[in-house]
Chains A and B, each alone.
Chain A
Amino acid sequence: MVYMMRSVQSSKLNSNRQSLAGVFRRLWRLCCQIALVQSGLRSYLEPVIRLFWPNYRAGLQSATLLSVRQQQGYLQLLLKAGRAFAGFVPGQHLDLTVELHGVLITRTFSISSSLQQFLQNRTLQLTIKVQPHGGLTQQLLARAGEPLPCYISQARGDFVLEQNQSALILAAGSGITPVHAMLSSLSRLTRPITLIYSYRGGGNLLFADSWPQLQKRFPLLNIILRDTSTEGRLSGTEFSAALSALKDRDCSCASVVQQPATGEPVFYLCGPLAFSQYWQQQAKALGISKIRQESFGLSQQSHGEAVPVSVTQHGRTLQFHSQGNLLKSLEQAGLAPRYGCRRGICMQCLCTKTAGQVRNELTGQISDAGAGLVQLCISTALTKLELQLDAVSTTAQDNTPCTN
């Protein structure tokens, strides 16, 4: 298993150089703040640059949306990455930002195409499950063919194949996307891998052409496709059988290449939240310790019951359950978010939501599931939520009123 790890290597910077660059960056920022009153030159010039390059956005790297194809419940987006995109390790994900009706909508998706394809023509494929009420996928479908402004972040994530290790991969639904990138990027295989891919109904079988080809190319790869609509869900005994078969093959393989057996295979788990949670428990019960997992899909909307919220402030993360008004529940959790009027007028309590949906208590409007700004004082959490609070000082020392 040999991958190019360009993006990983580029981040290994000399610490000295980093601090010098940091000083330089701060100085440059201060210069921009003085001369332009904005924190960067590119963001200041953005409206001017967009005259000549209409898709330009400061701080975002543009990508070209080549095609949008629909396969039953999925969309296949083919993107051409810009020059600034540093490459990826198969299995990683990126943020896709699409401008729709003046709104920059951002979502995280796994790259589903191979590294070889990227190296050949700098194209990436993203495979997205169509959400019946999802703003982004519905819009992409409705406006397929239009030149939509698209932007991608650098790839990130550590859900990647370990080299020279036998592996058992369990994927379900759209969870197959990073796995397809991993397997189709393989150039050689020295240890056995078993993939069990569950999908519901033949039309939802993703990458149907790839699986027989991969199976033919790599004798050590064992691909089990399972249509849950006819064969039912994978049972615990079938799972154990697949695991022990994999271990046997690893031992025989070890004797051929004259290397010690790798022992326990790495267990990769990728699918909807409930699926991942279930199989993680099962794997632990079977004594598997090396587990790598990634979950997909929107979490369920709450109907008044408490939902888990994680809040990051000063680099620390606090987790608690929120029910009803968000500002109040944050305060009850011991946080001191900034606030003002507490009735939706002044925007003082506005904070960044990185994921999850909220309901606006005044308008009843339900927010987007991706990143956005939220007015805490008039919001209720609907799904699992991730928030970022700005630093707010609670040092009231200077402020103690003078009573004499």
Chain B
Amino acid sequence: MHKLTSQQLDALAAELDALAAQTRAKVGAQDARYLERVLLVQRLSVWTGRLLLLGIFWSPWLWLLGVLLLALGKILDNMEIGHNVLHGQYDWMQHPYLNSRQFEWDIACDAKSWQRTHNFEHHTYTNIIGKDRDFGYGLLRLSNDFRWRLRNLWQFVTYLMLSTLFQWGVSYHELAAQRVFFGRKKNDRHSQVSDKELKKAFFGKGLRQLSKDYLLFPLLCFPLFFEVLLGNLLANILRNWWTATVIFCGHFTKDVYVFQAKDCENESRGHWYLRQMLGSSNFTGPRWFHILTGHLSCQIEHHLFPDLPAYRYPELVPKVRAIADRYQIPYNSGSFIRQYATVLQRILRYSLPVGTAAATKN
């Protein structure tokens, strides 16, 4: 792991805390207006999309446009709105329902379950082998810290399937960790939520989503039942591919660091900050591209300041980068294509029992 003395770590924490405070002081009406605009675009694209699905009467191209708009609506809902609101980034607005306790999103995963695995496990223990189950999702071998198994041989296919069914993977994530249906309970896992409640949330939210996309809306457009059903399915898959790709680019690129649990016991705030910078990777692009990724293209800034409105991340990028340079901390950023290529490379490389040790710097 990258070495900094404890004094340097404290100084790093102080600088980043100051940057957060500086940004937090600016947060206000502008951010609230931005969120509202995104919500408006999301509502409009979802409903235009749903209406255009009926356009298959006139032309399949209208239907296809409908699918794309519906997918766009779902992507905005999941990434720029859901992900960020559920992180508590807009809790300062004291809005009755646009807050991390009340919001629910258009995805198979129950918001509360996601908050436990993502906000707590992933953001607290980022890239710690064995503690951050988001590193490989218990399905993919992405570093030599994991023992090679036969199933890793075809993990590229597993990856493609996971991407396609990503919302269900996210939804099942906590139940898999708690061994609700399969496997032996793990001794070291502590949970405040019973298996019964996990199952209830999983089936409840899952069924609501299934009945919306594959029953309610197709039935409402009855003569076009299958066309609408197919449109919804395709929109969901497009959204799944996009979200999975963005998320994989955030933590599984070539130069991302992983950590051992023993190195992170009782870590200081500075150490946590350092780990967030080393364990995440950014990619570049125009503003609209950042918005489509829910600003997870600024994954490093997101991991440093998960509760600052994501809309502020692009303006933080140069400042964080300057701090990283000063402490000689590697800042992992590149074009989307380049970063994604290294993700695919990593998945392929570790599917074989011999991985190069250089890829995971410890």
Binding site for B on A (CB under 8 A): 33-35, 37-40, 43-48, 50-51, 57-60, 101-106, 336, 338-341, 343, 345-348, 350, 352, 362-363, 371-373, 390, 392-403
Residue B169 is within 8 A (CB to CB) of chain A in the complex: no
CB distance from A184 to the nearest CB of B (A): 33
Question: Which residues of A sit under 8 angstroms from B92, Cβ to Cβ?
Answer: 102-103
Question: Which residues of A sit under 8 angstroms from B105, Cβ to Cβ?
Answer: 37
CB distance from B280 to the nearest CB of A (A): 14
Q: Is the CB of B104 within 8 A of A102?
A: no
Q: Is the CB of A39 within 8 A of B94?
A: no
Q: Is the CB of A373 within 8 A of B211?
A: no
Question: Which residues of B sit under 8 angstroms from A45, Cβ to Cβ?
Answer: 43
Question: Which residues of B sit under 8 angstroms from A104, Cβ to Cβ?
Answer: 93-96
Question: Which residues of B sit under 8 angstroms from A33, Cβ to Cβ?
Answer: 104, 208
Pick from A35, A47, A347: contact of B36, CB under 8 Å: A47
Distance between Cα atoms of A282 and B344 in the complex (Å) = 79
Interface extent on B, as a size class?
Answer: 35 or more
Known: A47-B36, A347-B87. 4 other contacts (CB 8 A): A35-B212, A45-B43, A340-B120, A345-B306
With most chain B CB atoms within 10 A of its CB, the pick from A46, A102, A340, A341 is A102
Stretch of B24-32, B134-142, B158-166 contacting A (4+ beta carbons < 8 Å): B24-32
CB distance from A356 to the nearest CB of B (A): 15
Nearest-neighbor residue (CB-CB) of A362 within chain B = B17
Interface residues of B in 102-158 (CB under 8 A from A): 102, 104-106, 115-116, 119-120, 123-124
CB distance from B308 to the nearest CB of A (A): 12
Distance between Cα atoms of A400 and B306 in the complex (Å) = 32
Q: List 11 A-B contacts (CB under 8 A).
A: A37-B104, A37-B105, A37-B212, A43-B96, A47-B40, A50-B36, A340-B119, A343-B269, A352-B101, A398-B194, A398-B196
Q: Is the CB of B307 within 8 A of A347?
A: yes
Q: Is the CB of B21 within 8 A of A346?
A: no
Residue B91 is within 8 A (CB to CB) of chain A in the complex: yes
Distance between Cα atoms of A352 and B95 in the complex (Å) = 12
Pick from A51, A340, A396, A400: contact of B124, CB under 8 Å: A340
Q: Is the CB of B124 within 8 A of A345?
A: yes
Q: Is the CB of A101 within 8 A of B29?
A: yes
With most chain B CB atoms within 10 A of its CB, the pick from A37, A44, A48 is A37
Distance between Cα atoms of A396 and B185 in the complex (Å) = 13
What 0/1 readout, one digit per residue, does chain B (22-59) give for beta carbons within 8 Å of chain A?
00100011111100100110011000000000000000
Q: Is the CB of A340 within 8 A of B101?
A: no
Q: Is the CB of B94 within 8 A of A105?
A: yes
With most chain B CB atoms within 10 A of its CB, the pick from A50, A339, A350 is A350
Pick from A47, A343, A393: contact of B193, CB under 8 Å: A393
Nearest-neighbor residue (CB-CB) of B38 within chain A = A47
Residue B178 is within 8 A (CB to CB) of chain A in the complex: yes
Nearest-neighbor residue (CB-CB) of A364 within chain B = B21
Q: Is the CB of B94 within 8 A of A372?
A: yes
Interface majority SS (helix, strand, loop, mixed), chain B: helix
Distance between Cα atoms of A400 and B187 in the complex (Å) = 9
Residue B314 is within 8 A (CB to CB) of chain A in the complex: no
Distance between Cα atoms of A390 and B211 in the complex (Å) = 28
Q: Is the CB of B39 within 8 A of A346?
A: no
Distance between Cα atoms of A9 and B177 in the complex (Å) = 53
Question: Which residues of A sit under 8 angstroms from B36, Cβ to Cβ?
Answer: 47, 50
Question: Which residues of A sit under 8 angstroms from B186, Cβ to Cβ?
Answer: 401
Nearest-neighbor residue (CB-CB) of B21 within chain A = A363
Question: Which residues of B sit under 8 angstroms from A50, Cβ to Cβ?
Answer: 36
Nearest-neighbor residue (CB-CB) of A395 within chain B = B194
Residue B191 is within 8 A (CB to CB) of chain A in the complex: yes
Q: Is the CB of B33 within 8 A of A102?
A: yes
Question: Which residues of A sit under 8 angstroms from B101, Cβ to Cβ?
Answer: 350, 352, 373, 390
Q: Is the CB of B94 within 8 A of A106?
A: yes
Q: Is the CB of B192 within 8 A of A339?
A: yes
Distance between Cα atoms of A341 and B300 in the complex (Å) = 19
Q: Assuming A33-B104, A34-B216, A106-B94, is B119 touching A399 (CB within 8 A)?
A: no
Q: Is the CB of A47 within 8 A of B39?
A: yes
Pick from A35, A51, A59, A101: contact of B96, CB under 8 Å: A59
Q: Is the CB of B94 within 8 A of A373?
A: yes
Question: Which residues of B sit under 8 angstroms from A47, Cβ to Cβ?
Answer: 36, 39-40, 43
What 0/1 readout, one digit per residue, does chain B (194-229) give for beta carbons within 8 Å of chain A?
111100000000001101100011000000000000
Distance between Cα atoms of A87 and B137 in the complex (Å) = 57
Question: Which residues of A sit under 8 angstroms from B95, Cβ to Cβ?
Answer: 104
Distance between Cα atoms of A184 and B17 in the complex (Å) = 54
Nearest-neighbor residue (CB-CB) of B47 within chain A = A48
Residue B88 is within 8 A (CB to CB) of chain A in the complex: yes
Q: Is the CB of A401 within 8 A of B104?
A: no
Q: Is the CB of A399 within 8 A of B178?
A: yes
Residue B253 is within 8 A (CB to CB) of chain A in the complex: no
CB distance from A97 to the nearest CB of B (A): 9
Q: Is the CB of B216 within 8 A of A102?
A: no
Question: Which residues of B sit under 8 angstroms from A57, Cβ to Cβ?
Answer: 96
Nearest-neighbor residue (CB-CB) of B103 within chain A = A38
CB distance from A95 to the nearest CB of B (A): 12
Pick from A46, A390, A393, A401: contact of B189, CB under 8 Å: A401
Question: Which residues of A sit under 8 angstroms from B102, Cβ to Cβ?
Answer: 39
What 0/1 readout, one digit per residue, does chain B (66-88) give for beta carbons within 8 Å of chain A?
00000000000100000000011
Residue B97 is within 8 A (CB to CB) of chain A in the complex: yes
Distance between Cα atoms of A57 and B96 in the complex (Å) = 9
Q: Is the CB of B115 within 8 A of A397?
A: no
Q: Is the CB of B192 within 8 A of A338?
A: yes
Q: Is the CB of B40 within 8 A of A48?
A: yes
Q: Is the CB of A35 within 8 A of B120?
A: no
CB distance from A21 to the nearest CB of B (A): 21
Question: Which residues of A sit under 8 angstroms from B24, Cβ to Cβ?
Answer: 363
Q: Is the CB of B194 within 8 A of A347?
A: no
Q: Assuming A34-B211, A352-B101, is B29 touching A58 (CB within 8 A)?
A: no
Residue B99 is within 8 A (CB to CB) of chain A in the complex: yes
Distance between Cα atoms of A378 and B184 in the complex (Å) = 35
The 4 closest A-B pairs by CB, nearest first: A102-B32, A340-B120, A398-B195, A346-B120
Residue B100 is within 8 A (CB to CB) of chain A in the complex: yes
Distance between Cα atoms of A46 and B43 in the complex (Å) = 10
Pick from B21, B97, B123: contact of A39, CB under 8 Å: B97
Q: Is the CB of A341 within 8 A of B104?
A: no
